[in-house]
Amino acid sequence: MKILRATRMERCIGCYSCSLACARLLHQSLSWHRSGIRIRSAGGLSTGFEAQVCLGCDPAPCAHACPTEAFRQRKGGGVRVKRSVCIRCGECSRACPVNAIYMDAETGLPVVCIHCGRCTAFCPHECLEMIESAAGEDDDR
Amino acid sequence: MIGEEAFRVLLVNLTNGKSEPVLFGDPSEMLGGSGLAADLFAVHGIVDAPADHPDQPLIFATGPLTAYFPLMSKVVLGFKSPYNGQYAESHAGGRLALALRFAGYDALVITGAARTPSCLIVGSRTIEIRDVHYLWGLDVLSTGKHLRRFCGREAGHRSILRIGPAGERGVAFASINVDTYRHFGRLGGGAVMGAKRLKGILVLGDGSSSLPKGNAYRDLYKRVYEKVTQTPAMKKYHDLGTAENMLVLNELRAVPWRNLQTTHDENVHRISGQRFAEELLLRKTACAACPVGCIHVGLLREKFAEQNEFLYRQVSYDHEPIFAAGSMLGVTSAGGVLALLDEMERQGVDAMSAGVALAWATEAFESGVVSDKETLVPLSFGGVETYREAVRHLGLRTNDFYRFLGQGTLTAATHYGGRDFACVLGQEMAGYATGEVFFASQAYGFRHSHLDSAGYSYDQKADSRKSEDAAAFLMEEERRRVQLTCMVSCLFARNVYSEDLLQECLASVGCPRLAESVVARSSEVQAKRWQLKFRTGYNPMDISIPKRFGEISTWKGEIDTVFMHEVASRYQHAVRKLVDARQSARSS
């Protein structure tokens, strides 16, 4: 089971192509926020960029905090998301230690990386990659 | 925005502190960017009032493809220029285009003047005019540090604009800094902000919008993205960047050196793109939505005291700034160029205009037209430290001389003498001494910019020396570029976005009627912009090409001034014809 890692952010030029790809391909949106990976500048453009993205915790505090089964543990790290049972309480977002879950102000729903890897094709400098998770094979299918 | 029946425009009135989101025009019939800015100026601009009148608008306009495709990353600023009093456009990237799109506005129109120095903050659910009197007088970089503390949770998803002392004090070529490394540079947008006592603008890109259903748009996006990143189309821009021009043009004898006293210098390798890349390039960065990343940031390390005390500066560079702070001023050290650009950045003056103005001042000083009573420092070509002081005088408008110079080189030359060697083509020249067609195109072009119509390219590539061919080329090239600045595309993508591809892109985001009519509509915008320029006082008879431009030689030999004036005359005639045709079409 692979997870997304922003392993080479020192190469990032701040084009936001990854965020725009996630918003476009997963959320049918044009957005900086509505994306599982969000690029932030760390104190102005002169200090470079960082990626706000799920680190693939196992166990995932967000899944633990979720009062329904909207967020379930994904084998290999991270979570599987079932929006239909989300009550928009925001507990997942508060539980995330790295602020990787964005509560969409317009829909009220959480937005989180699902480690699908579609953004990686849109990074011009290979800052992002899918790596084999230490937690082993997925048996959650 | 897609599917909307009207442009969504935010009108901000700084005088009464109130704002109004309004619906404007019909996006299925009207182009954005240059077109939208001109249409908004026609409604909100005051044709016969001066540029610094509080009610004059500052118009930031995006286009129908903004954020939807790679390199659709620019914003058009429409305003009345304090430099020439005419309707003007300036373009900038950074994150502003996407921030406006995500804030939910096609355009932002700012009128009025704030009672106290202020910062405007705009987002999808935010409009705030914040008192920042304590920032007045601070330079651009310090101001940026303070403004970044506002709305910190949006770091990375916002755009920060600000002006420096030059904008506050009304220097006619004061720039607006956008996200540290980009600018609305030319024709004085910064002075308009200053007249409004608007020190900064924050745009928060905190909203989202929906995309067309189906795969057509997504597939097309991928195709464009691959064309931009996997073909040689954009190599020049992300490799050495436009700085690669310096060696090429010098070889052609087409680089303006020392106030255009010559066009070639064997020391060019010391300020070439290669030298910058090898010795000073720290990293590259990009405008939001551009995977090319052409912004070259140089690292300048400076020893400021004994015992190894160092400071460092990060300064962006390109061909034009290197020409303006380098060759034009006889500065032949790459570090010296960056040091000077850093000072221009801090004061908030347009680098090209300031460099050319100081080049004239240097020749005027050396030839005795002015003395150090005027210049305050002994200007000499290559003197980086005195130039740094002079840039401060220019930004702060220390005395009458710098006040005149801050109105434009020709204003100073008219007062003190030395018009023959004022390198002004409508405004201070750009870094191309390629010959007759370029000189005519900048002098009589809409923005007086090298980017208006590629006259420099005609000089280098065209076989015909017929003035009618040159004028026709300039008019069509201008229309083609207007088409891009209506989208609003980066002009560096002009070889990516062919007419066919633009039409495909427009159709894929739900604008089929615009796609079909984009050529005719861009021609209409071209005419509309010229019409506004004429209505706000443009008279080609007021423009002349100073003697210096006829005194140089390029790879083609001496400048043919007869040909140059023929091109200028035919070009003006073609512009007049375009405007007259529009006027008669509207009145019939």
DSSP string covering B215-277: SHHHHHHHHHHHHHHHSGGGHHHHTTGGGGHHHHHHHTT-S-BTTTTBS--GGGGGGSHHHHH
Task: Tell me the pLDDT band of B152, cut-offs 50, 70 and 90.
Answer: confident
Q: Buried b vs exposed e over B485-524: b needs ≥16 C-beta within 10 Å?
A: bbbbbbbbbbebbeeebbbbbbbbbbbeebbeebeebbbb
- Cβ separation of A44 and B145 shorter than 8 Å? yes
User: What's B466's DSSP letter?
Assistant: -
Residue A45, pLDDT above cutoff 70: no
pLDDT at B238: 86
| Closest of B302, B335, B340 to residue B321, by C-alpha | B340
Rounded to 5°, the CA angle A120-A126-A132 comes to 65
pLDDT tens-digit map of A58-70:
999 999 999 999 9
Q: Say if A16 is an interface residue toward chain B (CB within 8 Å).
A: yes
| Closest of B523, B582, B2, B493 to residue B286, by C-alpha | B493
Task: Tell me the pLDDT band of A122, cut-offs 50, 70 and 90.
Answer: very high
Task: Tell me the pLDDT band of A136, cut-offs 50, 70 and 90.
Answer: very low
Residue B396 parent element (H or E):
helix B384-396
User: Quick count: other Cβ atoms within 10 Å of Cβ B125?
Assistant: 11
CA distance A103 to chain B (A): 12
Task: Tell me the pLDDT band of B231, cut-offs 50, 70 and 90.
Answer: confident
Residue B582 parent element (H or E):
helix B561-587
Chain A residues 94-123 within an 8 A CB cutoff of chain B: 104-106, 122
- Rounded CA gap, A110 and A124, in Å? 28
pLDDT tens-digit map of A88-97:
999 999 999 9
- The Cα-based distances of B317 to B271, B349, B389, B390 in angstroms read 11, 15, 20, 20
- Cβ separation of B145 and A17 shorter than 8 Å? no
- Cβ separation of A30 and B101 shorter than 8 Å? yes
Chain A residue with minimum CA distance to B230: A124
- Do β-strands B557-558 and B182-184 pair in parallel, antiparallel, or remain unpaired? unpaired
- Cβ separation of B293 and A124 shorter than 8 Å? yes
User: Quick count: other Cβ atoms within 10 Å of Cβ A40?
Assistant: 17
| Closest of B544, B258, B569 to residue B420, by C-alpha | B544
- Rounded CA gap, B439 and A123, in Å? 41
Residue B79 token pair: 């305003």
User: What's B548's DSSP letter?
Assistant: G
Q: Say if B67 is an interface residue toward chain A (CB within 8 Å).
A: yes
Burial class for A60, CB neighbours closer than 10 Å (0-12, 13-18, 19+): buried
User: Quick count: other Cβ atoms within 10 Å of Cβ B584?
Assistant: 9
pLDDT tens-digit map of B569-580:
999 999 999 999
Question: Among B70, B125, B314, whose Cβ lies nearest the Cβ of A46?
Answer: B314
Q: Tokens 């390039």 identify what position?
A: B281
DSSP strand E in B48-98: where?
58-61, 75-80, 87-92
What phi and psi values does residue B316 have, to the nearest 5 degrees?
A: -85, 150
Average pLDDT over residues B150-179: 96
Residue B163, pLDDT above cutoff 70: yes
Average pLDDT over residues B431-452: 97
- Cβ separation of A30 and B297 shorter than 8 Å? no
Residue B381, pLDDT above cutoff 80: yes
Burial class for B221, CB neighbours closer than 10 Å (0-12, 13-18, 19+): buried
ipTM of the complex: 0.95
pLDDT at A138: 45
DSSP H stretches of helix in B445-560: 455-461, 467-485, 499-508, 512-535
- The Cα-based distances of A123 to A13, B198, B215, B297, B399 in angstroms read 10, 37, 21, 20, 51
Tell me the three state secondary structure of residue A3: strand
- Rounded CA gap, B71 and B316, in Å? 19
pLDDT greater at residue B174 or residue B582? B174
Average pLDDT over residues A87-116: 97
- Among left, alpha and beta (phi > 0; psi -120 to 50; other), residue B255 is beta
pLDDT at B438: 98
pLDDT at B2: 61
pLDDT tens-digit map of B59-115:
999 999 999 999 999 999 999 999 999 999 999 999 999 999 999 999 999 999 999
- Rounded CA gap, A122 and A120, in Å? 5
Can you state the percent helix, strand and coil of chain B, rounding each to 5? 45, 20, 35
pLDDT at B574: 97
| Closest of B185, B75, B161 to residue B448, by C-alpha | B185
pLDDT at B62: 98
- The Cα-based distances of A137 to A7, A32, A62, A140, B411 in angstroms read 21, 32, 21, 9, 74
Q: Say if B145 is an interface residue toward chain A (CB within 8 Å).
A: yes
- Rounded CA gap, B132 and B139, in Å? 14
- Cβ atoms of B148 and B200 within 8 Å: the answer is no
pLDDT tens-digit map of B251-287:
999 999 999 999 999 999 999 999 999 999 999 999 9
- Cβ atoms of B288 and B328 within 8 Å: the answer is no
Task: Tell me the pLDDT band of A46, cut-offs 50, 70 and 90.
Answer: low
CA–chain centroid gap for A12, Å, is 17
- Beta-bridged to residue A51, according to DSSP, are A39
- Cβ separation of B157 and A40 shorter than 8 Å? yes
Q: Say if B221 is an interface residue toward chain A (CB within 8 Å).
A: yes
- Do β-strands B198-204 and B118-123 pair in parallel, antiparallel, or remain unpaired? parallel
- Rounded CA gap, B74 and B489, in Å? 6
- Cβ atoms of B559 and B553 within 8 Å: the answer is yes
pLDDT greater at residue A40 or residue B153? A40
- Cβ atoms of A33 and A17 within 8 Å: the answer is no
Q: With contacts defined as CB-CB under 8 Å, which chain A residues touch B180?
A: 44-46
Task: Tell me the pLDDT band of A1, cut-offs 50, 70 and 90.
Answer: confident
Residue B524, pLDDT above cutoff 90: yes
Q: With contacts defined as CB-CB under 8 Å, which chain B residues touch A104?
A: 208
Residue B241, pLDDT above cutoff 50: yes
pLDDT at A48: 85
Instruction: Point out the least confidently predicted range of A123-132, B150-159, B396-405.
Output: B150-159
Q: What percent of chain B has pLDDT over 90?
A: 94
pLDDT tens-digit map of B6-65:
999 999 999 999 999 999 999 988 999 999 999 999 999 999 999 999 999 999 999 999
CA dihedral (B118, B123, B126, B130) in degrees, to 10, reads: -10
Chain A residue with minimum CA distance to B67: A30
Question: Among A13, A40, A46, whose Cβ lies nearest the Cβ of B293?
Answer: A13
Which H, E and C letters describe B137-185, residue by residue?
CCCHHHHHHHHCCCCHHHCCCEEEEECCHHHHCCCCCECEEECCCEEEC
Tell me the three state secondary structure of residue A88: coil
pLDDT at A6: 97
Best of B157, B161, B224 to mutate (most A CBs within 10 Å, chain A): B157
- Rounded CA gap, A111 and B378, in Å? 61
CA distance A41 to chain B (A): 5
Contacts of B180 (CB under 8 A, 6+ apart): A44, A45, A46, B94, B141, B144, B160, B316
Residue B504 token pair: 């495909």
CA distance B403 to chain A (A): 33
- Cβ separation of B292 and A39 shorter than 8 Å? no
Contacts of A37 (CB under 8 A, 6+ apart): A4, A6, A18, A19, A22, A51, A52, A53, A113, A119, A128
Q: Say if A32 is an interface residue toward chain B (CB within 8 Å).
A: yes
Average pLDDT over residues B558-562: 97
- Cβ separation of B289 and A15 shorter than 8 Å? yes
Half-sphere exposure of B257 (CA within 13 A, CB side): 23
- Return mean pLDDT, chain B: 96
- Cβ separation of A42 and B287 shorter than 8 Å? no
CA distance A87 to chain B (A): 21
